[in-house]
Amino acid sequence: MSTLTSVHRSTTSLADGRELHYFDAVADSGRASFADGRTLPPRPPVGEMRYDALRDEWVAVAAHRQTRTFLPPASECPLCPSTASRSTEIPAPDYEVAVFENLFPSFSGPAGTTLDAAGPSPRRPAAGRCEVVCFTPDHGSSFASLEPRQVRVVMEAWADRTAALSELDGVEQVFCFENRGEEIGVTLHHPHGQIYGYPFVTPTTRRMLASAETHLLRTGRNLFADVLAAESAGERVVAANEHWTAFVPVAARWPFEVHLYPHSHVPDLPALSDMEREAFGPVYLEVLRRLDAVFGVPMPYISAWHQAPVRTGRDLSYAHLQLHSARRAPNKLKFLAGSESAMGAFVNDITPEQAARMLREAVL
């Protein structure tokens, strides 16, 4: 199923059989006609999932990821367009947005049978899908540097791939996200994100849906919609337009944390209207640029789309984006200490009201 409206997708294969999709604002870009002339090794074997009975969570074990590319110089970036002298993961000499299967996936392949069902901790193949999303061919750029029209292409790619991965055998949840900055573990500087097709519903989503179900039974209302309503006219709003509101949540865990909600209750990105997709870019870009302006240095962050699982909790879910940064001062980071790492009990050094005020007052 395709969700594309004003954006066009063309598809080809890389030398080892992985899929590559180009997303363009114009039809018939011709990018898919460029062949991948590299000689690549066989794709890595499917990893393994092990069940943690104490936490009721699955942990993926993907040992092949130890050899993944780590902070190469710009001249060796695998996400830049190919040139006459160097072939990369993207064979075309230029692109708008490119999405391809990860060379070092945490999850890959169709659903498989249980490997070991003995004892309290069964194991099974880490089936699913991992894709890389290249937001721009410009290596030295960032998402915050994009124009709204470019963000629209990214949005269409997210929605299209969410719909496609949701139809894969064994995928239970689709997660679109971006990691930015070495401070939070980025291994490639080129502006990019990832999409995971998980073979389970993630612990964070299960916990939020349980809270939403309790709220619905108690009040008859959707929890996420009530959170948005409570924040929309408050002092923690950072940016807004007719279709989206960005705010610092009242119980933010991180020094700088911003949630971005559409004003309509939809389960996932494919369900967003054409107007909502168009209106997302201006608000999100304002948030990113304010984050960078707070201290005058690039803000490291994790930006995560929360979408409904494929088969459960769809009525309870409310698609929205959550972004957080570990930077608490120009030269200081928040590290997860004993309380956060061991107990999951967060202590924030900046009040959410102060963080929202700093973001609103940042000079763009």
Q: Judge residue 359's burial from the number of C-beta atoms within 10 Å of its C-beta, 0-12 exposed, 13-18 middle, 19 or more buried.
A: buried
Which range has the worst mean pLDDT, 31-35, 116-120, 206-210, 241-245?
Answer: 116-120
CB 76, CB 68: distance < 8 Å: no
| pLDDT of 181 higher than 80 | yes
77 marked ligand binding residue: yes
> Which sign, positive or negative, has the C-alpha torsion 169, 11, 162, 44?
positive
pLDDT score for 115:
75
Q: What are phi and psi of 20, to 5 degrees?
A: -135, 130
The pLDDT confidence band at residue 161, using thresholds 50, 70 and 90, is very high
pLDDT at 3: 61
pLDDT tens digits for range 241-252: 999 999 999 999
Average pLDDT over residues 157-185: 97
pLDDT computed for residue 86 by the predictor: 97
For residue 279, what pLDDT band results from cuts at 50, 70 and 90?
very high
Nearest to 106 by CA among 63, 77, 69: 63
Q: Return the pLDDT at 131.
A: 98
pLDDT reported for residue 353: 98
- Give the list of residues 6+ apart from residue 253 with CB closer than 8 angstroms, or none: 324, 340, 346, 348
Which candidate, 282, 291, 298, places its Cα nearest to that of 248? Answer: 291
* 190 known ligand binder: yes
Return the residue matching tokens 């999303």: 133
- Reply yes or no on whether 192 is catalytic: yes
Residue 5 reports pLDDT greater than 70 = no
- Rounded distance between C-alpha atoms, residue 247 and residue 71, angstroms: 33
**Mean pLDDT, to the nearest integer, of 272-287?**
98
Q: What's the pTM value of the predicted model, to 2 decimals?
A: 0.96
Q: Is 243 flagged in the annotation as binding?
A: no
**Catalytic annotation, pick one of 21, 192, 215, 324:** 192
Domain 204-361 has CATH 3.10.310.30: no
**pLDDT in the model for residue 233:** 87
Range of lowest pLDDT (9-13, 117-121, 228-232, 264-268) = 117-121
Does the annotation list 21 as a binding residue?
Answer: no
Give the pLDDT band (50/70/90) at residue 4: low
**Res 104: pLDDT:** 97
Q: Compute the average pLDDT of residues 299-320.
A: 98
Can you give the residue ranges of every domain in the chain? 8-31+49-200, 204-361
Q: How does pLDDT run across 106-147, given as a tens digit for each residue?
A: 999 888 777 777 789 999 999 999 999 999 999 999 999 999
Q: CA 348 to CA 336: how far, in whole Å?
A: 11
What are the pLDDT digits (tens) for 339-363? 999 999 999 999 999 999 999 999 9
Provide the CATH topology of domain 8-31+49-200: HIT family, subunit A (3.30.428)
Calculate the average pLDDT of the chain.
96
Residue 1 vs residues 14, 51, 186: alpha-carbon distances, Å: 22, 32, 32
247 backbone dihedrals φ, ψ, rounded to 5°: -145, 155
